[in-house]
Structure 1
Amino acid sequence: MERGAVPLWNIANILTLVRLALVPVFAVLLLHADGRESWWRLAAAAVFMIASFTDRLDGQLARERGLITDFGKIADPIADKALIGAALVGLSLLGELGWWVTIVIAAREIGVTLLRFWVIRYGVIPASRGGKAKTMAQIAAIVAFLLPLPPGAAVVRWVLMGAALVLTVVTGADYVVRALRLRAGAR
């Protein structure tokens, strides 16, 4: 290994792989007994929260310790999208979240990923504060849907999901504008 090279096997990348490995565990817990047993839902929520925390932690460690790798740049967003996607699809399969919500969020995520590839030769579109807020809002909303809360909590769930949807659409539009500017500026 040359001097200054970041090893592929570092704590940030290992946390990313742990998050990716937790996705099927989370999905099994969520879908067990059609999602109707409280202890299984609590376990699914716990795994989801742990996996979500690894996202914040791996990024922080990578920046603080200089552990940023090309693998991490690719694997981290894949793990994030897999976790959020599994939660949304699972909740939609259980009939607790409309498929339209899952489709809007998935379309935004796929669209932003394609935009990044479209402009990659001109530069990188870094994650914005809005994008990070969008992720936090999605996580909060999903946790509210995962937890076996009383029926009166439905309004809280939908307020959180509404905020997540607004941030999802607004930041998606922001990425489109930023991609177009990056591409136009490079010409």
Structure 2
Amino acid sequence: MSSTGRPAGSAVPVGGGGAPLLNIANALTVLRLLLVPVFALALLAEDGRDVTWRLVAFVVFALAAFTDRLDGQLARRRGLETWFGALADPIADKALTGTALIGLSVLGLVPWWVTAVIIGRELGVTVLRFVVIRRGVIPASRGGKAKTVAQTVAIGLFVLPLPLLLPGLVTAALVLQWSVMVIALMLTVLTGADYVRKALRG
């Protein structure tokens, strides 16, 4: 069973539950959307070769990722779940993840095929969310949450200019980055397939 008391994997009806549209959880979601272009500018500044700008990009990315966790917790604990949050939250997540991966690929730090796999999965799941929204939202599974954490950590490690900060440990830095990215890719594919199965099952 899920935390809502419904069978795990079943759709949870979307309703405002009396929560006002203007609330702290939705405000954090909007803030995350606004941070996306700020992050992109910092990441791509000086073609990604400036350590200071890369660190700024990492801080902005970490802050945006933190709001993702915080807005969800606030919405559940304070009963602030709304239709806007149900739709805008995953869009904000995908915007942040997609922007980060595209930026890293533009800089030559992450291969384009990695970006294509992750963004393709995220866009596909987002489309499915809209398709099944009339009968409810499929709650995030443990695997889905683990996928989100793995993607966030992997992207964060690539945004950090580790080879520039630790020139004597370049190999170790690359091994760390790619170890986490491989885990993120595996979880991305597996959880995407599981989400499709749940959506088709209804």
The TM-score, its normalising length taken from structure 2, stands at 0.86
Residue segments in structure 1 that go unaligned for 5+ positions in a row: 183-187
Aligned partner of residue 124 in structure 1, secondary structure:
coil
Percent identity (aligned): 67
Query: 1:79 offset after TM fit, Å?
Result: 0.6
Offset of residue 80 of structure 1 = 0.4
Runs of 4+ in 1 over 4 A off after TM superposition: none
**1:5 CA displacement:** 2.3
Q: CA RMSD in A?
A: 1.2
Which shows bigger deviation, 12-21 or 173-182? 173-182
Q: Does 1:126 align with 2:139?
A: yes
Between the aligned partners of 1:136 and 1:127, the Cα distance in structure 2 is 13
Higher relative contact order (CA 8 A, sep 6+): 2
Pairing 1:17-96 to 2, within 5 Å after superposition: 17-96=30-109
Deviations 1:111-136 (A, max 9, x none): 11222333334443211111111010
Q: Indicate yes or no: 2:155 matched with 1:142.
A: yes
> What do the CA deviations read for 1:17-55 (whole angstroms, capped 9, x no partner)?
111000000000000000000010001000000000000
The normalised TM-score by structure 1 is: 0.92
Question: Which of residues 12, 29, 43 is equivalent to 1:16?
Answer: 29
Q: Is residue 171 from structure 1 mapped to residue 191 from structure 2 by the alignment? A: yes
Aligned length: 179
Deviations 1:145-183 (A, max 9, x none): 01111322001100110000000000001011111211x
1:112 alignment counterpart? 125
In structure 2, the gaps of 5 or more residues are: 1-16, 164-169
